[in-house]
Structure 1
Amino acid sequence: MAELNFKAIEEKWQKRWLEEKAFEPKANEKPKEKKFYITVAFPYLSGHLHVGHARTYTIPDVIARFKRMQGYNVLFPMAWHITGAPIVGIAERIKHRDPKTIHIYRDVYKVPEDILWKFEDPKEIVKYFMKAARETFIRAGFSVDWTREFHTTSLFPPFSKFIEWQFWTLKDKGLVVKGAHRVRWDPVVGTPLGDHDIMEGEDVQILDYVIIKFILEEDGEEIYMPAATLRPETVYGVTNMWLNPEATYVKAKVKRGEKVETWIISKEAAYKLSFQDREIEVLEEFKGERLIGRYVRNPVTGDEVIILPAEFVDPDNATGVVMSVPAHAPFDHVALEDLKKETEILLKYDIDPRVLEEISYISLIKLEGYGDFPAVEEAERLGVKSQKDVEKLEEATKNIYKAEYHKGVFKIEPYAGKSVQEAKDLIAKELLESGRAEIMYEFAEKPVISRFGNQAVIKIIHDQWFIDYGNPEWKEKAREALAEMTIYPESRRAQFEAVIDWLDKKACARKVGLGTPLPWDPDWVIESLSDSTIYMAYYTISRHMNRLREEGRLDPEKLTREFFDYLFLEEFSEEREKELEEKTGIPAETIHEMKEEFEYWYPLDWRCSAKDLIPNHLTFFIFNHTAIFRKEHWPKGIAVNGFGTLEGTKMSKSKGNVLNFIDAIEENGADVVRLYIMGLAEHDSDFDWRRKEVGKLRRQVERFYELVSEFATYEAEETELKDIDKWMLHRLNKAIEGATQALEEFRTRTAVQWAFYSVLNDLRWYMRRTEGRDDAAKRYVLRKLAEVWVRLMAPFTPHISEELWEKLGGEGFVSLAKWPEPVPEWWNETIEAEEEFVKALIEDIKEIIRVAKIEDAKRAYVYTAPEWKWRVVEVVAEKRDFKSAMAELMKDPEMRKHGKEISKLIQRLIKERAFDVKRINEEKALREAKDFMEKELGIEIIINPEEDKGGKKKAAMPLKPAVFVE
């Protein structure tokens, strides 16, 4: 058969679907209980979608197609997200001819040169990638209702008005507030950064360092050297300070409020602190080596401790000043031990080596299983030899910090006897209130780079607008909603619960970027993660909005708050609809239809997205729905999926390691791409795109097409069936049941296993078992298989399935055909068990021949289990206990003849837990399959002869015949 022209088939059916509006549902087409509303996070359009995105968008399409075939009225809409700073940042970088950006857009995204230079205008970027994304979605065969398409920002006024309504509603409830808060900040552009505004380091945590002000006496003046720590309780155990002799430090006036102090900190720290409510005036710069060998005073204990050199101190981490607690910090202990051996370094800074020898470790924490100095013991346990053993030191640090925090008891007064957790909080509170310490915010890891290409800092913003996710009443509603939702996979529920707990105020507006202006303060623009939380409600009315807009009958300025209040919050009212007609110019009848659509489609049944959106978008989605809508409109479920890698490597635009979704379709065909991605991973597990494997699958899909095309020519006249025919139909029932159950739970990998691979493998076996047969029964089975198989595959490979459905003479689109259900009369567990028995025996005989090295085997003698053994198996399955089973069997005089053997057999069956052995007629199964077995094995099969060849007969067990080969 000629190579299949996937593209021609795809274009044919995509055109027909669009022409016949196959996926445009209307409200009330089916009863409310038969509606199914599924959405997926709309894509952010700063570039082409890649194969990682393909999984996120294919999952809901597969589910939507499946539910349509189950008879549901399905709404699966799509829109485009263009809010935020990233697109503006790209335009800026293209304007300034940034080579990296040019490379990505010209070489990776293949944007034509004449269009690329238009990208200096962010609107041109948006226009280009919206068109490309829509084309990709159509080419992928996504069953989207395109009548509801829209995009975010003030560039699309109707949706912008909806967002204004959302924010007014939140503000009226006291959930949008103004205040000061720490945010990630682009210091060059001057804007807060949301998760989607970060190019590198988007998951990096912000840490609250306690910076403790150690005191340096200089010319009669007290100068502070603030040492940053995440463990303020260990200040009682400081033996020395660490500075990097090669790093640049500054002496600076630090003003905070009315208080002015002189600090010594790294140059980098001075810059970062200038964003955190402090005025910094640098008085001088110098290398750290200037202070090595000097002494500073511990502000808590009053101890004088020496400053020692340490190249491991990172001047860009917190203050660049580190306090050393060797009893409880493995790095400090090992650094001191290493330095003791570096006499030359000590002499360079005029430090008497005896000073280090005289340093006494201070034990602060009692920890079960350790002595006074846990850090020392843990480093020795892991075999740490020097600071070069970084991995071991990190492991030791993690082990000690975790153990001390959760199980440690503090030993120093006035906190002796308290848990480390309690002591830590009390000591930090006392240090901060007394002014001996302050808080500095720092990223847990570096670098954090904005999409403008700049290194981010943490800034305290005043007069910033926030959504107050910390509001306790609101949190309680979010918890209530989550408790009633279905989460796939269920294991992600705990993460949602944790996010709801720790979420606090979230900056919701910025001064730059695309978006909707904050309605009461239009100098601010609503940011991207804040305008994308309830747009699923807008989809329900967007079909009407788009039609009115196209007809020139929509004035967005008249879309007032009361218009949206009526549609989404109030009860039906003819009077209100007439009032709103007067105010908006929208016919009352259309307003009524909009409200009908919302009330019909809501609540949203499923929200789909990738797992990285749990800490933000997906949880905000829950919060915002509970704040704005009535409880009966709260969402019902969230399905979370994992990420994708390319040939085992994380995809990266900058490294060119990206496969665009559209390119994958061009190369392999949409159906192959869809099936491959759906079959690779389940729920939130990740998948790896392997080109070689995709090629193999393409050939299997072509084989599927060939087989069904052939079977479509057969007549489906019912006739008397042989057992193997019944087996095939039974297995088809199993595939229907397995695929259906898996799709109900969004387990696409399992669904593909049942719908494609299981049927393919069973069909191969059936064709082997029936080789040489060309009768009515076989043709009937294969025709029935084709009719079922093409429908099972339709959600995954819709284009080929449509083509095959047409060949089969199916009515209408297979996309709208009835999903197959198991046929009651096809079920036959006994025949399946018999066939498995035959398969297993063939493999056993092959194994005997291989192990015994019988090169010219002529025949196999097969002995099935006697009736009494089957009786033992059945009684053991019922009683599951030696004593009970033995008592029951010994009631039968015939069974008592085999008493000793029965005792051993019961013990064996209980040990092997063989409780679900299904009885079959072994001899009948073997006699019916005898010709096939002889053909498969190339030897004669003799079943239950009188002669006991090789004394094997007594070894026969139920479902495990005894075999002698000669």
Structure 2
Amino acid sequence: MKRYDFSEIETKWQRLWEENKIFQVKADPSKPKYYVLEMFPYPSGRIHMGHVRNYTLGDILARIKRMKGYNVLHPMGWDAFGLPAENAALKHGIHPAKWTYSNIDYMKKQLKKLGFSYDWSREIATCDPEYYKHEQRFFIEMYEKGLAYRKKTLVNWCPTCHTVLANEQVEDGKCWRCGTEVTFKEMDGWFLKITAYAEELLEDLKKLEGHWPEKVIIMQRNWIGKSEGAEIKFYISDIEDNLIVYTTRPDTLYGATFVCISPEHPIARKIAEKKGFLNKLQTFIEKVRKEKREIEAGLAEKEGLFLETYTIHPLTGEKLPLFAANFVLMEYGTGAIMCVPAHDQRDFEFAKKYGLPIKVVIKPKDRDLNPEEMTEAYEDPGIMVNSDIFTGLDSIEGKAKITAYLEEKGLGKKKITYRLRDWGISRQRYWGCPIPMIYCEKCGIVPERIENLPVVLPLDAQIDASGRSPLPNLPEFVNTTCPKCGSPAKRETDTFDTFMESSWYFARFTCPDYTEPFNKEEVEYWLPVDQYIGGIEHAILHLLYARFFTKVLRDLGYFKIDEPFTNLLTQGMVIKETYKCPVHGWVYPEEVSPEGKCLKDGCGEQVIIGKSEKMSKSKCNVVDPDKMIEKYGADTVRLFIAFAAPPERDLEWSDHGIEGAYRFLKRLYNLIIDYSENLKKISYISEDFKNLPNNLLKLRRKLHQTIKKVGEDFEKRLHFNTGIAAIMEFLNLLQDTLKEVSLEKEIVKKVLKECFEKILLILSPVCPHIAEELWKELGHDTFISLEAFPEYDSDLIEEDVFTLVIQVNGKVRDQMEVSVETSKEEIIEIVKERPKIKKYLEGKIIKNVVFVPKKLINFVVA
């Protein structure tokens, strides 16, 4: 008998798929489309098990949709710009471009080894000028529409990476890439006006409900951070100017006892200059900047600097002291707030610290509040008090009433604000897309002409040990002519944030070779992406930016869609237990003896087995996909990945589990090979299966139930694990049945041929190589990958017996197994004679019998 040589089988079918281009796809309006996409990888050098899981899940779905008759787009590419390439260039003395492209070559071979059904003719790399020239065009068009602008601002600065970071790229005060503590730096930079789309980005989350994980929607909603309130004028007589404060609680206006502004507010500087304490203010500003991260996290003590002036309360005329405070952010609202210590805990603590008055203007419905006895602010809604004509109103109603009153008097207006800030896209790094802007002494800032794009990143630039971008020191790159007047001019030397490239790549996959950014017919046919798959870590950064980009490109006339990704699956991590030696720290499993002793350098110390954690080299708990493929084959790896856990849950790696997956495929292979010669020329039609003996009928019924379950689990629910479990269960029944039947009977061969073929068809999305091989062994000369998913017989999947629930006067008294062919009248007579029921019917009159077919019978007696 043939041996299951997975290496030979997988190499063979991967070659045949490629030679026959069976996964290349074109738009076809006559067929329903399905666009499945996994988040494309950064070409870091090698794929890891997290990649394998992500891409396996996507490939199973792509394959089953293809079998279900859809025209499937399933592309792959490379998110190729970014800091790691520069870091590698510094470490290994190799150019980022060479490092990137060599990694792409290696990782592409790894992906092909796994048998993913990608249309490789659509492959893109974002560092290719033919890709990023379109991105430069989008930026210029955004600039012309007022959606891209340059300004001086306080930015997050990573001293290790020598670049600016967006707020979203700062995690717990550290750089998301290298983990260095982030500082603040004032500098010029380019921004995209994502705030112009804040309301639509928020509102359109409703369209994604039920299609995206609720957790992701909540994270985006919180990041956008919409709040409704009022802007109110507080007059400052010392400088004869109005200070505009923003509040979400206009109902507490009468309780304001002081006002705070950001130390960097222009009015703070204006007052300090007039009063002569500018140095004192500047010292306070520097202190606040150093502590900004702690302040934003709510960890810093609240501090203020009295500005030696007062504001005038707009409704009472009271003089309220004005402070510069460390907790007021210039970028939120107006950079100025009214402070109501009785009804805001932060204001309460500040007032207590600086001895400022506390005035109650909202009270609970069941009691009064005494400011002198309060130990904390009362922040809940309630009844308005001490609020002039608004006293007695419910505070919720009072918000609208006071805002309307302020608008009527010209003292304020209703205002909506967002936590979302504009996206800073300037990076002071080399390995990125050049920003296509030019600085001319005569014309100012001028965009490059569209026809001159791309502004190509010079590949002959060398990065020195400091990691600083070489672009500012390359005269051949920097020196140019003004597109407007022709005078000598200078190029922008910043490059784009790499999230720019991943914000629109999904659309370029629809027409990667088109000379213009998009082919209208292609994008209208393929977009939006029907199923997007990737990690939860991209819930804010990438997904929010891609949604924003989609809306901008729509408004620029490129798209008609509002949202890029109809459905989103955030797969769990691949985790594995860790081993830690008290002497050597983290050790690999092979460095631990069966008794749990450390084998490293003959150590012998008892190793501590830790909890399962995300695979990482630093904790020595990685599993190399190449080694697994070499040992077990790609189909086994795919099967284990799909079977070990539901897609959205973390998958715990198990050596025992992957061994079990291998044994299952070997058993399947041996079983079919054992019978294949006898079955090659066997054919069948549905008429052949009438009047089957019970064991074959039971087998066929189980087969068609399995087809139904696998189809629904794989395609609709993405519960690949339960679908695979059903296939395994069926194989057990099949092997048991084979012990009872004789292959000399023609009908047995026909049933067996149907079972083998249909099991291979439904398993092929998970294990395509072995399915192709065994399909051929059964006598077929087609690709199983291009076959239709089998239909199930709806009549056959009905069980021949059902469980009947028996009630008397609505109470369950018994249950029994009943044949589906038993009539209602027969059932009634049988039930009446059952001992458990007979005693409830004796001496009673049966007034009615309620019968629900295949479910229950209820005797109504008196």
**TM-score normalized by structure 2?**
0.59
Give runs of aligned pairs for residues 166-565 of structure 1, distance below 5 A.
166-171=138-143, 174=145, 176-178=147-149, 180=151, 185-186=156-157, 188=159, 191-194=163-166, 197-198=169-170, 258-260=270-272, 262=277, 270=286, 273=289, 363-367=360-364, 372=369, 404=380, 407-413=381-387, 416=391, 417=393, 419=395, 505-519=422-436, 520=447, 522-523=491-492, 524-542=494-512, 564=516
When residues 288 and 272 of structure 1 are mapped into structure 2, their CA distance, relative to the original with a 3 A threshold, is closer
The one of 751, 770, 776 aligned to 1:781: 751
2:359 and 2:765 mapped to 1: Cα distance?
A: 67
Cα displacement string for residues 704-734 of structure 1 (whole angstroms, at most 9, x for unaligned residues): 3333333434434657521331232233223
* Structure 1 position 737, deviation (Å): 2.8
When residues 704 and 163 of structure 1 are mapped into structure 2, their CA distance, relative to the original with a 3 A threshold, is same
Answer whether contact 1:38 1:606 (CA < 8 A) is retained.
Answer: yes
1:240 and 1:698 mapped to 2: Cα distance?
A: 72
1:698 and 1:378 mapped to 2: Cα distance?
A: 66
* Structure 1 position 504, deviation (Å): 6.8
Task: Tell me which residue corresponds to 1:45.
Answer: 43
The one of 610, 616, 637 aligned to 1:673: 637
Cα displacement string for residues 388-445 of structure 1 (whole angstroms, at most 9, x for unaligned residues): xxxxxxxxx9xx85xx2xx445545367546369759989x99xxx99xxxxxxxxxx
1:66 and 1:711 mapped to 2: Cα distance?
A: 27
Give runs of aligned pairs for residues 679-690 of structure 1, distance below 5 A.
679=643, 685-690=648-653
Cα displacement string for residues 279-328 of structure 1 (whole angstroms, at most 9, x for unaligned residues): xxxxxxxx999999xx99999777999xxxxxxx9999999xx9998865
When residues 412 and 619 of structure 1 are mapped into structure 2, their CA distance, relative to the original with a 3 A threshold, is farther
Question: Secondary structure of the equivalent of 1:649?
Answer: strand
1:23 and 1:867 mapped to 2: Cα distance?
A: 48
Once the two structures are overlaid, the 10-residue window that deviates more, 66-75 or 256-265, is 256-265
**Structure with more of its chain in strand, by fraction:** 2
The answer to whether residue 726 in structure 2 is matched with residue 726 in structure 1 is no
Residue 854 of structure 2 aligns with an amino acid whose one-letter code is V
When residues 257 and 208 of structure 1 are mapped into structure 2, their CA distance, relative to the original with a 3 A threshold, is farther
Cα displacement string for residues 200-234 of structure 1 (whole angstroms, at most 9, x for unaligned residues): 67789599999xxxxxxxxxxxxxxxx99998987
1:622 and 1:918 mapped to 2: Cα distance?
A: 51
Task: Tell me which residue corresponds to 1:641.
Answer: 569
1:819 and 1:12 mapped to 2: Cα distance?
A: 23
1:426 and 1:191 mapped to 2: Cα distance?
A: 46
1:56 and 1:866 mapped to 2: Cα distance?
A: 44
Answer whether contact 1:32 1:600 (CA < 8 A) is retained.
Answer: no
Task: Tell me which residue corresponds to 1:485.
Answer: none
The answer to whether residue 765 in structure 2 is matched with residue 795 in structure 1 is yes
2:428 and 2:44 mapped to 1: Cα distance?
A: 20
* Structure 1 position 514, deviation (Å): 2.9
When residues 360 and 288 of structure 1 are mapped into structure 2, their CA distance, relative to the original with a 3 A threshold, is closer
Task: Tell me which residue corresponds to 2:444.
Answer: none
Residue 260 of structure 1 aligns with an amino acid whose one-letter code is A
Task: Tell me which residue corresponds to 1:134.
Answer: 108
Once the two structures are overlaid, the 10-residue window that deviates more, 805-814 or 641-650, is 641-650
Task: Tell me which residue corresponds to 1:76.
Answer: 74
The answer to whether residue 32 in structure 2 is matched with residue 20 in structure 1 is no
Residue 796 of structure 2 aligns with an amino acid whose one-letter code is N
* Structure 1 position 127, deviation (Å): 2.5
Give runs of aligned pairs for residues 2-17 of structure 1, distance below 5 A.
5-17=5-17
Task: Tell me which residue corresponds to 1:383.
Answer: none
When residues 5 and 46 of structure 1 are mapped into structure 2, their CA distance, relative to the original with a 3 A threshold, is same
Question: Secondary structure of the equivalent of 2:509?
Answer: helix
Residue 555 of structure 2 aligns with an amino acid whose one-letter code is A
Cα displacement string for residues 33-79 of structure 1 (whole angstroms, at most 9, x for unaligned residues): 25544433322334544333333322332222223334444332221
CA RMSD of aligned residues (A): 6.3
Give runs of aligned pairs for residues 686-765 of structure 1, distance below 5 A.
686-691=649-654, 692-715=656-679, 716=682, 718=688, 721-745=692-716, 747-749=717-719, 751-754=720-723, 756-765=724-733
Give runs of aligned pairs for residues 844-883 of structure 1, distance below 5 A.
870-871=824-825
Answer whether contact 2:362 2:383 (CA < 8 A) is retained.
Answer: yes
Percent of paired sites with the same residue: 22
Answer whether contact 2:252 2:362 (CA < 8 A) is retained.
Answer: no
1:629 and 1:253 mapped to 2: Cα distance?
A: 39
Residue 149 of structure 1 aligns with an amino acid whose one-letter code is E
When residues 235 and 367 of structure 1 are mapped into structure 2, their CA distance, relative to the original with a 3 A threshold, is same
Question: Secondary structure of the equivalent of 2:701?
Answer: helix
Answer whether contact 2:699 2:737 (CA < 8 A) is retained.
Answer: no
Residue 11 of structure 1 aligns with an amino acid whose one-letter code is T
When residues 564 and 663 of structure 1 are mapped into structure 2, their CA distance, relative to the original with a 3 A threshold, is same
Question: Secondary structure of the equivalent of 2:132?
Answer: helix
The one of 118, 133, 148 aligned to 1:144: 118
Task: Tell me which residue corresponds to 1:158.
Answer: 130
Residue 109 of structure 2 aligns with an amino acid whose one-letter code is E
Residue 687 of structure 1 aligns with an amino acid whose one-letter code is D
Task: Tell me which residue corresponds to 1:310.
Answer: none
Question: Secondary structure of the equivalent of 2:671?
Answer: helix
Question: Secondary structure of the equivalent of 1:260?
Answer: helix
Question: Secondary structure of the equivalent of 1:710?
Answer: helix
2:721 and 2:707 mapped to 1: Cα distance?
A: 11
Answer whether contact 1:68 1:74 (CA < 8 A) is retained.
Answer: yes
When residues 239 and 902 of structure 1 are mapped into structure 2, their CA distance, relative to the original with a 3 A threshold, is farther
* Structure 1 position 186, deviation (Å): 1.7
1:916 and 1:376 mapped to 2: Cα distance?
A: 71
* Structure 1 position 134, deviation (Å): 1.1
Residue 60 of structure 1 aligns with an amino acid whose one-letter code is G
Question: Secondary structure of the equivalent of 1:639?
Answer: strand
Residue 748 of structure 1 aligns with an amino acid whose one-letter code is L
Question: Secondary structure of the equivalent of 1:784?
Answer: helix
When residues 679 and 741 of structure 1 are mapped into structure 2, their CA distance, relative to the original with a 3 A threshold, is same
1:426 and 1:898 mapped to 2: Cα distance?
A: 76
Residue 544 of structure 2 aligns with an amino acid whose one-letter code is N
1:3 and 1:378 mapped to 2: Cα distance?
A: 79
**Structure with more of its chain in helix, by fraction:** 1
1:18 and 1:289 mapped to 2: Cα distance?
A: 65
Answer whether contact 2:644 2:721 (CA < 8 A) is retained.
Answer: no
2:255 and 2:369 mapped to 1: Cα distance?
A: 12
When residues 668 and 618 of structure 1 are mapped into structure 2, their CA distance, relative to the original with a 3 A threshold, is farther
Task: Tell me which residue corresponds to 1:917.
Answer: 854
1:334 and 1:166 mapped to 2: Cα distance?
A: 48
Question: Secondary structure of the equivalent of 1:790?
Answer: helix
Task: Tell me which residue corresponds to 1:619.
Answer: 547
When residues 367 and 600 of structure 1 are mapped into structure 2, their CA distance, relative to the original with a 3 A threshold, is closer
Answer whether contact 1:608 1:640 (CA < 8 A) is retained.
Answer: yes
1:267 and 1:817 mapped to 2: Cα distance?
A: 73
* Structure 1 position 762, deviation (Å): 3.3
* Structure 1 position 257, deviation (Å): 6.2
The one of 900, 906, 927 aligned to 2:844: 900
Answer whether contact 2:511 2:519 (CA < 8 A) is retained.
Answer: no
Cα displacement string for residues 132-183 of structure 1 (whole angstroms, at most 9, x for unaligned residues): 3212211221111222222113xx22222332343345455x2633255978
Task: Tell me which residue corresponds to 1:609.
Answer: 533
**TM-score normalized by structure 1?**
0.54
Residue 516 of structure 2 aligns with an amino acid whose one-letter code is F
1:22 and 1:811 mapped to 2: Cα distance?
A: 14
Residue 518 of structure 1 aligns with an amino acid whose one-letter code is I
Cα displacement string for residues 474-519 of structure 1 (whole angstroms, at most 9, x for unaligned residues): xxxxxxxxxxxxxxxxxxxxxxxx9xx9877434444434333333
When residues 420 and 186 of structure 1 are mapped into structure 2, their CA distance, relative to the original with a 3 A threshold, is farther
Cα displacement string for residues 519-538 of structure 1 (whole angstroms, at most 9, x for unaligned residues): 32651433323333443443
Residue 772 of structure 1 aligns with an amino acid whose one-letter code is E
Residue 56 of structure 1 aligns with an amino acid whose one-letter code is N
